[in-house]
Structure 1
Amino acid sequence: MSRIKREKETIDLMIKIYCNKKHKSKKNELCNECKELLEYAHKRLDFCKFGEEKKFCSKCPIHCYKKDMKIKIKEVMKFSGPRLLFYRPVQVIKHIIEK
């Protein structure tokens, strides 16, 4: 699986966890705010100038997120990151090894 596809799957799951717990959305459904964030994140990944050589966003020299979206995605990651261990433990371990 390509790195971009893996990143998209991870951010999908993180936003779903966040929306489900914080916005009380139904399982596998997103509120409008979270849909917008997910679409934005996918768009940023699609147009990442580093492509498959991409590093983690936190290590990237180019910060391509708009300020408001950057704040939102950080909040999602901070909330959902630790919870990923319960949803996809193997994916979390791979992520830690890559980092």
Structure 2
Amino acid sequence: MNKETDFRLLGRLDSEFKTITAMIDIYCAKHHQINTLKFQRCNNCDQFRTYVKQRLDRCPYGENKPSCKQCPIHCYKPQQKIMSQTIMRYSGPKMIVKHPIMAIKHLIHDKKTIPERNKEMLSNHQKRKALLNKK
């Protein structure tokens, strides 16, 4: 159990995390798996997946988060941003075949307008802290 990665994302953040995880798996299976019968995410892709989860957890928009492509706040470090773009460019077109419902939901979400940032918006991390403090 790792405190840094063993937490639950709420609402839209969880579905976005599942979508990017599917994209990472598609990319990793093609680029990093060498003649293995059982798929196992490589260490680099697994670390990137953990990084994405932490970034989603701390997104200041919280559950009202716009798609990363539309977001005015750039929370990824430059190297991870390039990796994200590479993975999405490769996996995006393949998502329609492998995970059609996820892909369509992602495309619809990508077209939504960016919500106005306000003080009521809490990140997933802030909500978790508030719940722990109430106990």
TM-score by length of 1: 0.92
Counterpart selection for 2:89 from 64, 70, 78 = 78
Work out whether residues 11 and 63 of structure 2, in 8 Å CA contact, stay in contact via their aligned partners in 1.
Answer: yes
Question: In the aligned structure 2, how far is the partner of 1:16 from the partner of 1:89?
Answer: 15
- In structure 2, list runs of 5 or more residues that go unmatched: 1-9, 112-135
Q: Which runs of 4+ in 1 moved over 3 A?
A: 25-28
Give me the CA root mean square deviation: 1.5
**SS at 2:55 equivalent:** helix
Percent of residue pairs identical: 43
Which residue does the alignment assign to 2:12? 3
Aligned residues between the structures: 99
Determine which structure has the larger helix proportion and give its number. Answer: 1
Pick aligned residue for 1:87 from 98, 104, 108: 98
- Unaligned segments of structure 1, at least 5 residues: none
Report the equivalent of 1:36.
47
Describe how 1:57-68 pairs up with structure 2 within 5 A: 57-68=68-79
- TM-score using structure 2 length: 0.69
- How far 1:40 sits from its partner (Å)? 0.3
* 8 A contact 2:27–2:87 mirrored in 1: yes
The structure whose Rg is larger is: 2
